[in-house]
Amino acid sequence: MKIPSLLLNDGHYIPAIGLGTYQIRGGQGIDQILSAIQDGYRLLDTSTNYDSEGIVGEAIRRSGVPRAEFFVTTKLPGKYHHFNDTLDSIQESLCRMGLTYFDLYLIHWPLPKRGLYPEAWKAMVEAQKLGLIRSIGVSNFEPQHLNRIIKETGVVPAVNQIEVHPYWVQERMLQANQKLGIITEAWSPLGRGSAALNEQIIIDLAEKYQKSPAQIILRWHNQRSILPIPKSSSLIHQRQNLDIFDFKLTNDELLKINSLEKADGRIDGQDPNEYEEFN
């Protein structure tokens, strides 16, 4: 299936949807990622903290698809925010995946209480100059974190990957990213398979458009100019999740989905200002 692309602020293109790999592991995981590649996924999202970098690299090799066709993303763990640790961690991840460069590398969480994220960002700017990374971005960054790294380096992230789903709509963050020319990626775009898939508003739209509830939610992201990275280990779901580009929700329908937002809608209550990453 042909997937549309979005233009990043550094001139590179990124597929408009990708595959999340959180909790995809082991030999079975390689097969699940391979099936996704065969169905057309090219953006693969992993992280050092998911313990899936190795199998993503192996699936890429086994697929026979040229490396240049992929858009591989991984993320920096919180324990490596010091400048030299960041550079080492990038190179360790490349070795683990058997790759010579990443298409996109993200700071996984800002960890503002430690306050080392500007140092990590400077190391990523350096790694980009060295050719280890094509595009550099962040994850779970709030406006004040974005402003700080931009002020200190003059370099604007290409992507900010944040939690977005119908219970956590993130209109304010979406606009903050857009103002800076940053593409918003949605993690847990389906609410991690939560009750959002069973909301009556979503089910009614699924019936109207002859699509599944997941496809309605993924199309909602796409029409908001958000790039979703749904995780699925099911062949049927993986295929379904790519098939979202042949229908269009109305503005009213987009707003109806927005209205599902909850005040405490975050899946695990992870506030980027407070969250201390596991490491």
Return the number of the residue (84 or 273) whose C-beta is nearest ligand NAP: 273
Task: Work out whether 43 is an interface residue with ligand NAP (CB under 6 A).
Answer: no
b/e 16-37 (16+ beta carbons within 10 angstroms → b): bbbbbbbebbeeebbbbbbbbb
* CB contact at 8 A, 222 and 244: yes
Q: Choose which of 17, 29, 45, 111 interacts with ligand NAP (CB under 6 A).
A: 45
* 108 annotated to bind ligand: yes
Stretch that binds ligand NAP, among 79-87, 126-134, 201-209, 236-244 (CB under 6 A): 236-244
User: Shortest gap between Cβ of 193 and ligand NAP (angstroms)?
Assistant: 3
Contact pattern from residue 61 through residue 90 relative to ligand NAP, giving x for each residue in contact according to CB under 6 A and a dash for the rest: ------------------------------
Q: Choose which of 57, 77, 191, 265 interacts with ligand NAP (CB under 6 A).
A: 191
Task: Work out whether 22 is an interface residue with ligand NAP (CB under 6 A).
Answer: yes
Task: Work out whether 51 is an interface residue with ligand NAP (CB under 6 A).
Answer: no
By CB under 6 A, what part of segment 251-270 binds ligand NAP?
none
Q: What angle do CA 173, 177, 180 make, to 5 degrees?
A: 145
Task: Work out whether 187 is an interface residue with ligand NAP (CB under 6 A).
Answer: yes
Task: Work out whether 230 is an interface residue with ligand NAP (CB under 6 A).
Answer: yes
Query: How far apart (Å, rounded) are the C-alpha atoms in residues 209 and 257?
Result: 15
* CB contact at 8 A, 165 and 268: no
Task: Work out whether 232 is an interface residue with ligand NAP (CB under 6 A).
Answer: yes
Task: Work out whether 170 is an interface residue with ligand NAP (CB under 6 A).
Answer: no
Task: Work out whether 234 is an interface residue with ligand NAP (CB under 6 A).
Answer: yes
Task: Work out whether 233 is an interface residue with ligand NAP (CB under 6 A).
Answer: yes
User: Shortest gap between Cβ of 122 and ligand NAP (angstroms)?
Assistant: 21
Exposed, middle or buried by CB within 10 Å (0-12, 13-18, 19+), for 40?
middle
User: Shortest gap between Cβ of 39 and ligand NAP (angstroms)?
Assistant: 12
* CB contact at 8 A, 45 and 186: no
Q: If binding means CB under 6 A, how many residues of this protein chain bind ligand NAP?
A: 27
Active-site residue, selected from the candidate residues 13, 41, 50, 80: 50
Closest CA to 29 of 48, 51, 49, 55: 55
Query: How far apart (Å, rounded) are the C-alpha atoms in residues 27 and 153?
Result: 41
Strand 13-15 with 5-7, pairing: antiparallel
Q: What angle do CA 168, 171, 175 make, to 5 degrees?
A: 145
- Confirm whether 50 is a catalytic residue: yes
Residues with catalytic function: 50
Provide the annotated binding site for substrate: 108
